[in-house]
Structure 1
């Protein structure tokens, strides 16, 4: 018995580690909720195109619209950055598939290939940024907020310039305001001049890079 006794805790610990933990269960539940909610919101987005007032109609037909939905859903789950990156892909792609389903119900045809690919590429960054903003680590929060602010500001600039003749300026202006508010809120929370400077630099860089690509993405979406 004395010889076997010390082995028992080790065996028990090994057995316990083979069972799913409470954290594993929370991740699975939050992932399912994100996917289901994204499918539903994607379907509603298709329907909303014909219901929203002209001032807000661009929300249902813009990169920032689905990005905002993905950010809100992932942030609500409060995952780690690694899990957030996976949820970002799951949410964005589910939004696209939900949009396809909603369009089919309305008797419309929609090819999800383009935005499905965009979701796979951009989803990890959007999801990680959302998780970082609600996290406690300063540097990831700065980079995440700057990147998301860049999404909003660049889409607002695109809307107010390239498609200004065919859309209302209201939604695009709200994008600019939301991006600015995000930067200000996160900067106030950080209370650091250096972190605030990095946040502004990240937002400016993200705005510049995304502005180069929004023309192609929006043209592909409208086509």
Structure 2
């Protein structure tokens, strides 16, 4: 029953937050408006919702998919209510692929296994750092640098807080390698999407 309750809470909150991101595109200050239109924005929301229920790694992966897809559906519904046409297929597919990794990483961060926590935190920090770099280097001419800088600060803060919490040389090394790997992979993905390869 707990799993069903957690799933219901995550789905309902994700639908609501996804809908709010559609509305937020029209009223967020320019400095942070990219939150409502960036991969890191929905990643942050998914991480917070999954981590809040402190699931196991496997259940976190399931909740990650449910959250990410529900965010997309909430966004779609709110956009349609605003008279905008939006297809959830592309981002829904990304949610199905990325959701398990994001959800499992969130579960790992709040879990008790130090190496898993390091891997999870490093992966999530990499999402924030890669998005921040992308924002400051690729879409810098059309967006404010404030949100992208916040992404970099949050990614760095997550690494520092996790390193302080875990303290051992091994886990800190795992954390740093995971952060660098996630940043590299996601930055390469951004470059490929932008035709830089």
Tell me the TM-score normalised to structure 2 length.
0.97
The one-character-per-residue Cα deviations of 1:183-210 (angstroms, maximum 9, x if unpaired) are: 0001100011121111111100100000
| Contact 1:42–1:96 (CA under 8 A) maintained in structure 2 | yes
Q: Secondary structure at the residue paired with 2:5? A: helix
> Superposed, which structure 2 residues align to 1:1-223 within 5 Å?
25-215=1-191
Q: CA deviation at 1:214?
A: 2.6
Query: What is the root-mean-square deviation of aligned Cα atoms in Å?
Result: 1.2
Structure showing greater Rg? 1
The one-character-per-residue Cα deviations of 1:29-58 (angstroms, maximum 9, x if unpaired) are: 011000000000000000000000000000
The one-character-per-residue Cα deviations of 1:88-133 (angstroms, maximum 9, x if unpaired) are: 0000000000000010010000011110010000000000000000
Tell me the TM-score normalised to structure 1 length.
0.85
- Partner Cα separation in structure 1 for residue 64 and residue 132 of structure 2: 22
Q: Secondary structure at the residue paired with 1:55? A: helix
Q: Which runs of 5+ in 2 are unaligned?
A: none
Runs of 4+, deviation exceeding 2 Å:
214-219
Q: How many residues align?
A: 195
